Amino acid sequence: MGGEAGVGVRPMNWLEISLTLDPELAESVADVLAPYAHQGVSIESTAVTANAEDEGHPVGPLRVRAYLPADDVTALETARQKIEEGLFYLNMIRPIPAPSYTPVSDANWAELWKANYKPIRIGNRLVVIPSWLADRQSTEPPNIPILMDPGMAFGTGTHPTTQLCLALIEAHLKPDDTVLDLGCGSGILAIAAAKLGAKSVLAVDIDDESIRATQENAEINGVAVTIKTRLGSLSDLHAEGAISNLHAKRPISNYQLTVANIIAPVIIRLLGPEEGLAQTLAPNGLLVVSGILAEQVGDVTAALNRAGLTVADQRQIGDWVAMAARPVQ
């Protein structure tokens, strides 16, 4: 019988697909690959530059990599066609390199997949770590580990907008602050806030998959008690009185820190009087906004000023900018 144990079972083969491209394109490409990738998509830095201001901050091109099951030739060809179609449409917006394909045997794919993920140090203390590397990476103070496994491309710490938000949260959050994470995605910003000492965090998103991912990642990181999730929009929160009365002179419920890592046009809209993003803040609170291209800074600054906020901190990686603003006193 021992000789028959392998009958009907044969090694699985894989096709590695990878692209090396600018950081601002990495997550869009990862979104194209994710539906067809086994065990998620890796986004890794290909260069790291350390300097006095931001030691160990990842810079330079990013490599996006995924593994497709290759035993079913028809299914593989269908997946390749869908991926190349998605990349074709992205290329119409901004040029991207052609993907490279490499066959990989079953004996090697799992270790290769895990080897693509490296810890990412952000700011002075935060370290984003795949869970299987947690035992190898120092978790002693002052390091604050955030365990973030692949599987969801957005918000795993590789994109400049996420890195900028994390750096601003680390720089400005105070112990026992209350935090609102608007558009929580994977929950990485909410988790960072909780681990940095926030008293409570409300993580909000209009996507139920993002809410599920935030809940799971909060459990993995041991901060589920601190983080509450809510499916909905900023308008929903206002309507329920979860934040404040938009027309009240003094908000009845507010946050010391609100984070919105979205895109500039949405940030500008949310800062308008109909949405009331600024009204989420306590009188001495701080609003962190990211997803802003350098050429959009002027428009976002003007929207912040119209909402009664003034920029207190601004940081940039490549073409991406994040801003921290406080109510004018």
Looking up tokens 């810890």, which residue turns up?
A: 119
Determine the Cα–Cα distance for residues 213 and 190; give it in Å rounded to an integer: 12
Q: What is the pLDDT of residue 319?
A: 84
State how far the alpha carbon of 80 is from the alpha carbons of 66, 72, 85, 99, 212, in Å: 12, 12, 8, 10, 29
Of 52 and 184, the one with more pLDDT: 184
Q: What is the pLDDT of residue 104?
A: 84
pTM of the model: 0.73
Looking up tokens 């935060």, which residue turns up?
A: 126
Determine the Cα–Cα distance for residues 170 and 124; give it in Å rounded to an integer: 8
Residue 326, strand partner residues: 310
Neighbours of 156 (CB within 10 A): 27
CATH architecture assigned to 153-327: 3-Layer(aba) Sandwich (3.40)
CATH code linked to domain 12-117: 3.30.70.120
Of 84 and 318, the one with more pLDDT: 84
Looking up tokens 């105070």, which residue turns up?
A: 174
Instruction: List, for residues 312-326, the tens digit of each pLDDT value.
Output: 999 998 888 999 999
Cα maximum dimension of the chain: 81
Q: What is the pLDDT of residue 240?
A: 74
Instruction: List, for residues 172-184, the tens digit of each pLDDT value.
Output: 999 999 999 999 9
HEC profile of 161-216: HHHHHHHHHHHHCCCCCEEEEECCCCCHHHHHHHHCCCCEEEEEECCHHHHHHHHH
Phi, psi of 260 (to 5 degrees): -135, 95
The residues spanned by each domain of the chain are: 12-117, 153-327
